[in-house]
Structure formats: C-alpha cells, structure tokens
Amino acid sequence: MDIEPKFTFISIQQDKKYPNLENNTIKKLIEKWGLHLSIQNYLFNETFHEYHKYHLAEEFFKSDIVAKSLKTWTSNNYKIQGFVASKVETKQISCSVVSMSFFDKLKDPKNNIVYESGSIRQRYETEINGIMVSDNLRSMLIDEESDEYSIYSTDERDEFIFKIFQMLVLGGEYCQYEDYLQPYLDCTKKIYKDFVKVYTEPSTNDLAISTMILQVVAERDGKAYFPNDPDHLQNIGYLLVDSNNREITTLIHQYKG
C-alpha cells in the first residue's frame, strides 16, 4: 500500500525569472489587455508521482508556510491574506501541445476568424457571460451558438495552451483589444514557453512536456479565494507542477480591476 507523502513547501519568490514575461513588449501587452496576473514559486520536499496530484494540491493550500506568503486578490490588488484552505477542488488540465501549428486554423481565412491580412473579423456586439464580444475571435472562444465555436474540439479547448490564449484574448475588465491576431499568438507562445518544461523522449526523439497543470479552486469557510469568484470564466487559478525540480508555480488571473 502506497503511503501518501507529507509535503512541505518553501517559498522562492526572489530567485525565479521569467524572461518572456519580463520582456517589455509582453509587459505592455499584458497591461493593454487589462490582465491581473500573479505568479509565485515554491519548492516541495518529496518525490512526486502523478497519482499524488490531488493530495499535493490539498497539502499546498493547507500549508501554514504557503498561507504566510501566497498572494490572492482583495481590494483590487494581490495581497498576502494568510488563508489556510478548508476545501480544495482540483482538476488536471491537458498539456501536450509542443507546436504553434495548433493555432493554424485561426490563421486560415476560410474559418472566418481573420481576413487575408490577418486582421480579425468584426461582428455585432453582444455580451456573453459578462464579457463583450464584438469579433469572431472572441465569438470562437465563448459563443457556443456561433459557427466559429466548432473550429476547436472540446479536447483541444481543454489544452493549457488554449486556456492561456483565451485568457489573453478575453483579457481583464478594461481590456483594449487587438485588431490583428498575431500579437495574441506571439504572447501565447512566449508565456507558454516560460511556464512549461519541454524535453525529448529518448526512444522516439519526439518533444514532450513534463509540467503538470492543475486548475484549482481553494476555499476558506465556504468562500473561494484562489481564485476569487471562480464562476467568472476569466477568474482562473493554476498550480504548475515540475516534478523533476520539485517546484510549484502558482498562476492566478482575476478579471476585475
């Protein structure tokens, strides 16, 4: 019988670098799109196996050490609130895409997202789930009644890279949208590269990803705080688990600012 490990955690906030996220062009786009991101890093002490994923997430959010350093959204800012979770809901997110060809369907004018020039096709403005949709790109992302929604399958939409792309395109409450598709693709590629570890399978020489992605909702006394108000599709919280380096990256986005 396998005994669940007792995980402990150490905050490493000062040492971790994200070269693409720290790039000035990317910073300006994130600000333009009204994104409210918080990224923090922790080390854990035990060997990690995939079947420990739910236990790891539970231990993480119930750790006093994490509670004393983890920043969550309150009063329009990220602050340390000292919360220890009373409930943790965890879902593993697929992370298998290793090529930006995944988004080639968006660049094909036949799919009605962009014109030959790469500019995004506009449509009548409507509100869906609290987000204004005025072009076919956003329609493809969240308007289930639109023809464009079927361009990507359910499994493709469950990929982490798709979720990053959607987060960037929909942005925050005061998002200034792009007229062209390419900036979204460029930013998605760079951020994805910062977040996931890619390696070569020795037996096949194929590229693969070692990072495990867990989407998480942590609650304290019945109220979610990681993220706050998780019913909004742009309020998202992830744990990115690197088992080789025994490292966890927290990624959280809050829509309102």
Ranges of each domain in the chain: 9-92+213-254, 100-198
| Predicted pLDDT of residue 1 | 45
Residue 58 and residue 88 in contact, taking contact as beta carbons nearer than 8 Å: yes
pLDDT truncated to tens, each residue of the chain (257 aa)? Answer: 467 888 999 999 776 889 999 999 999 999 999 999 999 999 999 888 889 999 999 999 999 999 999 999 998 999 999 999 999 999 999 999 999 999 999 999 999 999 999 999 999 999 999 999 999 999 999 999 999 999 999 999 999 999 999 999 999 999 999 999 999 999 999 999 999 999 888 888 898 899 999 999 999 999 999 999 999 999 999 999 999 899 999 999 999 85
Q: Which residue has the tokens 């905050």?
A: 11
Question: How would you label 72-96 residue by residue, b for 16+ Cβ within 10 Å and e otherwise?
Answer: bbeeeebeeeebebeebebeeebbe
The whole-number pLDDT of residue 167 equals 99
**Tell me, what's the pLDDT at 181?**
99
pLDDT of residue 2: 62
Interatomic CA distance for residues 57 and 164, integer angstroms: 21
Give the contacts of 100 (CB within 8 A, at least 6 positions apart). Answer: 185, 188, 189
Q: Please tell me the predicted confidence (pLDDT) of residue 46.
A: 86
Among 131, 141, 137, 143, smallest CA distance to 175 is for 131
